[in-house]
Chains A and B, each alone.
Chain A
């Protein structure tokens, strides 16, 4: 019962957030001085121009445009591309996002696993060689931007060694470098987070209790420390997902991957406002939903959150 109330409450808040985001984005985009056509630097005859404005509903009063946008949005229609008339924004996102999700998903999974393992190793070998190595990797991962790592890998693996294709998408060989680049950040984030989380857990009183029971060092870590230090790591998952997507803007452009990141950057160059706005709304929805899912998982797996249990 409590769980249902919690979910409904969170869903309600989520919808309010989304509504605000859409509203703010809409009026911001419309507040750009001049109309979209002038930015596209096309000189058109007056009649064509009027047709164009009518086609995109730009001849309507601003508030009507807003209502129409909301109504279409509710039906999943994000409008039509300004740069490429006839191309639906929803359809374009539907076509490009699976590509990004595939690469990003693999990178995230690899990053989480490697990062977590490295973080635990660093904590267990604190102030010894493995700790230093892991922390160097982690610091580099956080501080060296992707647009530096990516060309470096291209230079080494594609140009000099010729092992992997420089650009493109489709085969597993194409995926190796982009995934490596994208996994670097989550590896670094999780290694750092897991190390401090693990050290924090190892300093807790219940670890002492476990040791006083005669539990072996390995089992103290596996049965008592690991679970308790992994749980809070779930909370930074939504941040990592966003990191993967924003990283994708750059990584996809560099590797010419036909994902949503490349597409977003292209629409910025083309001043394709409906596309930019549609993609922004899509990202916002994605992020808000992800946050909800992650919080929900956290509630499910951590018994300390008293939602599901009757309380005293």
Chain B
């Protein structure tokens, strides 16, 4: 089956004073129509860079995309796309919601104009029609008093409302793919749930495929069909939401799952926290990048990077614990649940 988006060997690096920082280190993934794919990982693991690269938003000369890399969208390679085609592709085929709604909207342009700008570029040249479409989109994102919002400037709206405007901009041209980069991180906790619920509803309504980038597995839980866990620029485990939440095999995934607060648990238990920090991406990292922080680290982990092991179906993992010679371990996650 032809995938909607097919990413092969994606490598992205930044040139800095200190040297080349390899933010994304050769990852492969695909996205099908109508599905939600989540990228999960700590800050600096390369998930946002991946998302921005899909829209080619990172610019040379400081950013370099690997020569082997390809991002195929409906048969076209986005990396080789001409400027003109890129402009048609952005916003129309794939659109994006950014992390901070406080800074992602143009402060000197009314919200209505910012939504209409997309519509006028991709859907219609008629201003009246564009206005109607923009207004409909505002109604769709359930913003109160949409006519009034059209005329307002971003600074006159609250953070939650601004993020709804951002979503409206992104969905106004009915894109096939919506990329949401940490869409709730900058919002109040009470608003976070609302925005996620809204995104889920809209996904069903518009039939767009969604790429959700987040560090919070809680956000992903009832939303994503598939989850890819990223660490130090690599995908270390991938699978369906079921696989990741109930049958995960990578110690890093276990650590992430443990750091999600759970209401059902005994209140007194301290929340798990993973010690240490991710490795500096300027290092070559030929071995497993998680080795230094891994409770189950073995000598082999410090020598080579484990190849992908398919567990079953879509579930696969890069970890030596799945090697036939490795000792059997009790996953940290299940251990905690049983206690």
Residue ranges of A at the interface with B (Cβ–Cβ < 8 Å): 204-206, 208-217, 223-224, 227-228, 231, 302-304, 306, 309, 311-312
Shortest beta-carbon distance from A204 to chain B in Å: 7
**Pair A208/B57 contact, Cβ less than 8 Å:** yes
Hey, which chain A residues are within 8 Å of B96, CB to CB? 209, 212
Closest A residue to B86 using CB positions: A214
Determine which of B55, B98, B169 lies in contact with A205 in the assembled complex, contact meaning CB atoms within 8 Å. Answer: B98
User: Bound state CA distance, A175 and B158, in angstroms?
Assistant: 54
Q: How many Å from the CB of B125 to the closest CB on chain A?
A: 14
Counting from the closest, the 8 A-B pairs by CB-CB distance are A214-B91, A214-B90, A205-B103, A213-B91, A206-B106, A212-B96, A205-B104, A303-B153
B273 neighbours in A (Cβ, 8 Å) = none
Task: Kindly list chain B residues whose C-beta atoms are within 8 Å of the C-beta of A214.
Answer: 86-92, 118, 121-122
- From B90, B107, B156, give the contact of A311 (CB < 8 A): B156
Our pick among A204, A205, A213, A217 for the contact of B117 (Cβ within 8 Å) is A213
Which residues of chain B are within 8 angstroms of A306 by Cβ–Cβ distance? 155-156
Asked if B155 and A304 make an inter-chain contact with CB atoms under 8 angstroms apart, the answer reads: yes
Q: Which residues of B contact A210 (CB under 8 A)?
A: 106, 117
Residues of A within 8 A of B319 (CB): none
Q: Are A303 and B108 in contact (CB under 8 A)?
A: yes
A228 touches B104 (CB 8 A): no
Tell me which residues from 74 to 107 in chain B have a Cβ below 8 Å from any Cβ of chain A.
83, 86-92, 95-96, 98, 100, 103-107
CB-contact partner of B153 in A206, A227, A304, under 8 A: A304
Residue B166 contacts which of A209, A302, A312 (CB distance < 8 angstroms)? A209
- B158: nearest residue on chain A (CB-CB)? A312
| Contact call B107/A304, Cβ cutoff below 8 A | yes
B12: shortest Cβ distance to chain A, in Å?
Answer: 16
Separation of A143 and B4 alpha carbons in the complex (Å): 59
Closest-CB distance, B208 to chain A (whole angstroms): 15
Question: Which B residues touch A309, using CB under 8 A?
Answer: 153, 156
Interchain CB contact (< 8 A) of A215 among B98, B100, B117: B117
B298 at the interface (CB under 8 A from A): no
B155, A224: Cβ atoms closer than 8 Å:
no
Instruction: Determine the distance from Cα of A205 to Cα of B92 in the docked complex, in whole angstroms.
Output: 20
- For residue B150, give the distance in angstroms from its CB to the closest CB of chain A: 14
Shortest distance in angstroms between A270's beta carbon and chain B's nearest beta carbon? 51
Could you say which residues of chain A place their CB within 8 Å of the CB of B153? 303-304, 309
Provide the bound-state CA to CA distance between A210 and B90, in Å: 10
Across the interface, name the chain B residue whose C-beta is closest to A127: B61
Q: Is the CB of A212 within 8 A of B87?
A: no
Taking a contact as CB atoms under 8 Å apart, the answer to whether B156 and A312 are in contact is yes
B122 contacts A228, C-beta separation under 8 Å: no
* B residues in contact with A217, CB < 8 Å: 83
Closest to B110 in A: A303
CA distance A206 to B100 in the complex (A): 10
Q: List 16 A-B contacts (CB under 8 A).
A: A206-B103, A206-B106, A208-B57, A208-B98, A209-B98, A209-B106, A212-B57, A213-B117, A213-B118, A214-B88, A214-B90, A215-B87, A216-B87, A224-B109, A228-B108, A312-B158
